[in-house]
Structure 1
Amino acid sequence: MRLNKKALAILTGLTLSAGLGSTAFAASADSFTDVPKDHWAYQALDYLAKEGVIDGMGDSTFQGGRTMTRYEMASIVAKAMQKKDVSFGDKAVLDKLSAEYAGELDTLNKKVDANTKAIKDLNAKTDKFKVWGMTRVQAGDDNGLVKDGHNGDYNNRFYMDLEGSMKINPYATARFTIEKNARTRDSEYSTLKTGDVRWVKHKKADGTYEWSERPIVYDKTISAETRDSEQADANHNGSISNIWVELALGKQHNWYTNIGRKWNGIGMQNLLLGGQIDGIATYHPIEKGHGWWFSAQYFKPSADWSSDQNIEVDDNGKVISVDRYTHRAPVAAAVDFWGPLGKYMDANIAYARVVGHELEHNDGNLGFYTGAKNFISADLKIRPFKDFSVTGSYVKSDAKYDWMKSYAGFAKFDTDWAVRMEYKGTDLNKVKSWGLYAKWVNLGVAADLGHDDEWATREPTFVSGVKGWYFGFKMVPWKNCEWETMWAPHLTENTNGRNDAGERTAYKRHILRSWVDFHF
């Protein structure tokens, strides 16, 4: 651009009048590659570029031989007008320049306003709809997932959790999640299969049925395609699995309320409840509560469970038909309190009560199928020294049905215990950050409303109690990527079988899994 000596002198005077001294050009550098250091305007151009008054051509060149447009000159004047500590005389010159280029300055201001509005509109649209989530690649070995008809959901798979939010107004947001399991080993899908010994019914020639325990012949193949279908895996088949609304209610908009279907947990380790629910929950900081919060919830766990019954076979033992019986989860209400106890300790206390159920029990009361109606839980987390914490969790119910106690075996009947120790931890933004953990559990049969932690201590094995240790390591090999490996060498779990003495049997389960989560 052609910037004549007069214009350059004026602008140099405007920008340097307040700072001409021994240090004005003390640290000169090549702002433009096509301006020699011995050029008479070198220092002035370099200073103006550093002060943001001139930009050159945007490619580190000044191109002083090119004719400057009036809009370019107006842009330089506008930037000079933003300088502070301008002398009275220079301000008079600047006023004349601004009058000379008033039309161009007005056009530039309109363009800036239009661009600013466009940016604000774009930001508003971007803020209105957001999508994030993670993809998991997982492999491992778990003898518990192929035993007694249990499935392999949590072992070898590709998994994606896609989450989204749609802002309705400053105090209301619609949320959704889409989850997809893509299982990689068909051999782990063991529902009914040839050789299973089951109680079956057989239609005799006279039209009556006889019941017997016998091996069956089942020719329906289970594959990844069928196992990942909507009928077989309603919550992880790639359709919308959860949808709810988040509201900020009250005069101060600090009653944070969720309405709809979503994953929900109660307790530091989600021991009282951890799973998909349908209902409403509100969370509120306690005024003058020193960091304590309160929540009230009304919900039905959507993790209903079902069993195959009335298996009919032909004369050769081939399965003709299977009836599936669904056991509905109870409707429950809960209150929860949590917050700090000093600088190095946190606590959580919760109470839940079954307030409705599809079926009535023999005593005429509504309740869980275990007979439990009341649940209490307590969690305590302490940090005895830097980077190390211990969390203990306890749940107890008033389950009372004697016939349920026969399912307990070695396990507790009406109590859950879990202790987790953690050292350090990961930060997705810090490559090479890492952490270690160890967890001990003793989960009873009828203690909680249901939970599904990431290690499948109950689901998908559907056992009636589990006890043992888990050990794990995690680290961040790349930004937004987390690698984790978990090992459970000796878990003791009940089965649905009995020994010759009629006692509930158990088996030793071992798990070794490794996975990488890619967050986006």
Structure 2
Amino acid sequence: MKKTMVAALAAALTIGAASTTFAAANPFSDVPRDHWAYDAVTQLAADGVVEGYGDGTYRGDRNITRYEMAQMVGKAMAKGDMSASDRALVDRLAAEFADELNNLGVRVSNLERNADMVKWTGELRYRYWSLRNEGDRTNKDQLQLRLFPTAEVNDHWKVKARLTATTYMDKDASRPGKNDDHFQLTYAHAEGNYSNFNVKLGKMSLFTAADAGMVADDFFSGAQVTFGNKLKATLEAGRWDGITSSSDKAANYQGIDLGYAAGNLEVGAAYRQFSSKALETRDKYNVSGATEDKAAIWSVGGKYTFDKNLAISGAYAQNQKADELKKAGSVQIDYKGAKKSDMGSWGAYVAYRHLGANVAFAPTYSTDHIVNGVTSYGTKGIDLGIGYVPFKNVLTQVQYFRGKELVTDNKAQTLFGRVSFFF
């Protein structure tokens, strides 16, 4: 196929626009202004139908392949301002190069898919704590940016991660290193999804699902396998450094979590074991009573949803290796629910919690009582909160806990607020 065929296509596509749009600059060094096809070639280049080569040449005197021709036809088909005669010619050419255009469509779809293989979501959130016990008071406000990249590996596997940048606004400083600001890779793992089967490898969420996060809501490094449909089983094994702030005392961890959901009812049961010398002293928490280097925790929980507005849930857990502070329990009533995608939605809850520090290692509750950087021996009391969505993807929350520390019987109060912007 010689240049005369290309020129014929070019002339046919530009007849209607020749009187007004042939002022485009010459993009090709081998198509001089006095060339007989100059107007057609420059117009097609301006319209994006032809692109030429990286060295700035058009090479119109060489044979072109059917695939190259199909590329030009495909770009011509995307033009929306053609005359009826031009459109008829393009339609005939499209029929001639149908096979090549189909293949081109597949390649374009794959390219678009590959270009979108990494997707990013995120959250910017502000959190505030005011914590009080007898004689002590701590206020803290924090600004945090979370980025969540998800990369597609193939039809079954993805890589997921979270990047977290944190600054404590009450310790704001003009130079890095002058406060507690930090940036970290919170987790990263590969995830494979198959029919009723999921596997994760790397650093991932450690969420004790059977008790709705009462025992732990944190991260561990290792492997997790989940299988089943209505009855689901999750097996986990790896290491967790949440026992102590010293990374060389990270605990070896194994767990099994069973969950069943049918209609309005959800129930779960779990057993988890942690092994670490840090359990003998629990330096991070100043907790006595953990006399062994192991924690053997079983937990049960359930939730019943009466209708779209009302639900009740409960959980109980016990550490069989601890001498004291070894029990935890929670009962919660939820009314409605704030959904970040639904502007104007809101929800509220009221709960009673008893959190022994030798079993509720890292509970999910935002009102977990921490004073001057030290978690108490554990608390019991009333926890209540409300959430509201003033704008789409903007969630506001206020929570309040009032109770007592389990060992000292000192009063404990926590006021917590959060504003989250999701994107």
- Using the size of structure 1 for normalisation, the TM-score is 0.57
Structure index of larger Rg: 1
1:366-395: CA deviation from partner (whole Å, max 9, x where unpaired): xx9553542110001112344111110100
Give me the whole-angstrom Cα distance separating, in 2, the residues matched to 1:300 and 1:144: 33
- Give the match for residue 144 of structure 2: 159
- One-letter amino acid matched to 1:396: Q
1:402-455: CA deviation from partner (whole Å, max 9, x where unpaired): xxx4xxxxxxx2100111211111222221111111122111132245435333
> CA 1:56–1:327 in 2, change beyond 3 Å: closer, same or farther?
closer
**Residues 110-149 of structure 1 mapped to structure 2, 5 A cutoff:** 114=104, 117-126=107-116, 128-139=117-128, 141-143=130-132, 147=136
> CA 1:113–1:278 in 2, change beyond 3 Å: closer, same or farther?
closer
> CA 1:225–1:470 in 2, change beyond 3 Å: closer, same or farther?
farther
- Give the match for residue 238 of structure 1: 183
Give me the whole-angstrom Cα distance separating, in 2, the residues matched to 1:142 and 1:395: 26
Question: Pick from 121, 142, 159: which aligns with 1:174?
Answer: 159
- One-letter amino acid matched to 2:180: D
**Residues 477-488 of structure 1 mapped to structure 2, 5 A cutoff:** 477-488=390-401
* 1:166 CA displacement: 1.6
* 1:271 CA displacement: 1.7
Contact preservation (8 Å) 1:458, 1:465? no
- Give the match for residue 264 of structure 2: 344
- Give the match for residue 273 of structure 1: 216
* 1:301 CA displacement: 1.7
> CA 1:505–1:457 in 2, change beyond 3 Å: closer, same or farther?
closer
Give me the whole-angstrom Cα distance separating, in 1, the residues matched to 2:258 and 2:272: 12
Contact preservation (8 Å) 2:227, 2:234? yes
Q: Does 1:300 align with 2:239?
A: yes
1:122-162: CA deviation from partner (whole Å, max 9, x where unpaired): 12330x211112111234533369948xx76xx41111221
Give me the whole-angstrom Cα distance separating, in 2, the residues matched to 1:327 and 1:121: 45
- Give the match for residue 285 of structure 1: 228
> CA 1:56–1:269 in 2, change beyond 3 Å: closer, same or farther?
closer
- Give the match for residue 186 of structure 1: 171
Question: Pick from 277, 284, 303: which aligns with 1:381?
Answer: 303
Contact preservation (8 Å) 1:300, 1:332? yes
**Residues 394-433 of structure 1 mapped to structure 2, 5 A cutoff:** 394-401=316-323, 405=324, 413-433=325-345
Q: Does 1:516 align with 2:419?
A: yes
* 1:113 CA displacement: 5.4
> CA 1:380–1:360 in 2, change beyond 3 Å: closer, same or farther?
closer
* 1:275 CA displacement: 1.0
Moved more, 434-443 or 130-139: 130-139
> CA 1:225–1:507 in 2, change beyond 3 Å: closer, same or farther?
farther
> CA 1:446–1:346 in 2, change beyond 3 Å: closer, same or farther?
same
- One-letter amino acid matched to 1:357: S
- Give the match for residue 52 of structure 1: none
Q: Does 1:226 align with 2:178?
A: yes
Question: Pick from 168, 190, 198: which aligns with 1:256?
Answer: 198
Contact preservation (8 Å) 2:385, 2:398? yes
Moved more, 172-181 or 443-452: 443-452
1:271-311: CA deviation from partner (whole Å, max 9, x where unpaired): 2332121221110015xxxx1101111122222424xxxxx
> CA 1:116–1:72 in 2, change beyond 3 Å: closer, same or farther?
farther
- One-letter amino acid matched to 1:71: D
Question: Pick from 381, 394, 411: which aligns with 1:468?
Answer: 381
- One-letter amino acid matched to 1:339: Y
Give me the whole-angstrom Cα distance separating, in 1, the residues matched to 2:329 and 2:383: 14
> CA 1:145–1:473 in 2, change beyond 3 Å: closer, same or farther?
farther
* 1:245 CA displacement: 1.4
Give me the whole-angstrom Cα distance separating, in 2, the residues matched to 1:2 and 1:159: 58
> CA 1:446–1:144 in 2, change beyond 3 Å: closer, same or farther?
same
Contact preservation (8 Å) 1:178, 1:239? yes
- Give the match for residue 84 of structure 1: none
Contact preservation (8 Å) 2:226, 2:234? yes
Contact preservation (8 Å) 1:139, 1:156? yes
* 1:171 CA displacement: 2.3
Contact preservation (8 Å) 2:367, 2:415? no
SS at match of 1:470: strand
Give me the whole-angstrom Cα distance separating, in 2, the residues matched to 1:226 and 1:507: 34
- Give the match for residue 365 of structure 2: 453
1:486-519: CA deviation from partner (whole Å, max 9, x where unpaired): 222x23225xxxxxxxxx5343232333322111
CA-atom RMSD in angstroms:
3.7
Corresponding residue pairs, total = 340
Contact preservation (8 Å) 2:234, 2:257? yes
Contact preservation (8 Å) 2:197, 2:227? yes
> CA 1:146–1:162 in 2, change beyond 3 Å: closer, same or farther?
farther
Contact preservation (8 Å) 2:290, 2:322? no
Identity value in percent: 14
- One-letter amino acid matched to 1:73: A
Instruction: Return 5+ residue gaps in structure 2 as ranges.
Output: 1-13, 17-77, 282-288
1:295-352: CA deviation from partner (whole Å, max 9, x where unpaired): 111122222424xxxxxxxxxxxxxxxxxx7782421211111012x53221010012
Give me the whole-angstrom Cα distance separating, in 1, the residues matched to 2:133 and 2:202: 34
Contact preservation (8 Å) 1:381, 1:389? yes
Give me the whole-angstrom Cα distance separating, in 2, the residues matched to 1:245 and 1:104: 43
Contact preservation (8 Å) 2:357, 2:377? yes
SS at match of 2:114: helix
Instruction: Return 5+ residue gaps in structure 1 as ranges.
Output: 4-54, 59-66, 79-101, 188-220, 230-236, 307-324, 363-367, 406-412, 495-503
